[in-house]
A and B are shown apart, each in its own frame.
Chain A
Amino acid sequence: MKTTTSTILTVLKILTWIVFIGLSIKCGSQIIAFIIGFINPDYAQNMYEVNGDWFKIKEQGIWVYICVMSAIIAISAFKANIWFMLIGLLSRLNLESPFSMDVAKRLEGIAYQLLVVWLAGSIVNSYFERYENYDLDTFTGIDSANEFLFVAGVVYVISQIFKRGIEMQEENELTV
């Protein structure tokens, strides 16, 4: 049983690294496309993980374009950061005494970060709901930001249970 859990944890660590690298590449590509978009929009449209529709927003004004692109890049960066936090959490997870304040704080941090993604996604999505010619899903990569709110709630509850676990572990360790 113990070996199975350790194996699953190792597999999870590898998977989180893969996802984190993938999301970092996506975020980096979006930042570069945003910058190149000012110089050569035709080239930027064909870049990896870049939606051609993004550059149509320029028609609505340069500041609208900058704000929307900043939000899209921020969402990607937050998503990558969530996975980075998960890597940190998994590397610090000790199965011998799993309840540590560090892990609980990281879980809480992930919950807050998910909440930020939900907020940013909701703002961008609600802005584009007014425009029927834009596809929301391909635009921000978030079809319904409410899923992030749900996951944030679940992770927050787990972090609070973890905190209680720390108290119980401490009590157990200090029982003579």
Chain B
Amino acid sequence: MPIIVNLDVMMAKRKMSLNELSEKVDITLSNLSVLKTGKAKAVRFSTLEAICKALDCQPGDILEFVEDD
């Protein structure tokens, strides 16, 4: 998929574990894992808002568009 999720990069920058983020944004670990591994087909604005708030970043820091070859 041309949309890359850089959640792991941001988490590493903020030195935050998946468990910690899961507690802060109130999303299950499995759902966060789906997002982190790029398996997610859609992201709710409310989820994006909660993640940005918890990681103190912009949506563009988490999502990136890379053209397919």
Contacts and interface: CB of A to CB of B under 8 A. Distances in A.
B14 interface: no
Interface stretch (A7-15, A101-109, A136-144, A168-176): A168-176
Interface string B3-46: 00000000000000000000000010001101100011111100
Interface residues of B, number: 12
B58 interface: no
Interface string A123-145: 00000000000000000000000
Contacts, number: 23
Interface of A: 170-171, 174-176
A138 B44 CA distance: 61
A175 B32 CA distance: 10
B46 to A, nearest CB: 10
Contacts of B39: 174
Nearest to A170: B41
A174 B47 CA distance: 13
Contacts of B27: 176
A175 B47 CA distance: 10
Given A171-B42, A174-B42, A176-B34, 4 more contacts: A170-B41, A175-B41, A176-B31, A176-B47
A94 to B, nearest CB: 20
A170 B40 CA distance: 10
A172 to B, nearest CB: 9
Contacts of B40: 174-176
A115 B47 CA distance: 48
Nearest to B28: A176
Contacts of A175: 40-44
Contacts of B44: 175-176
A42 to B, nearest CB: 68
A174 B35 CA distance: 9
B1 to A, nearest CB: 11
Contacts of A174: 34, 39-42
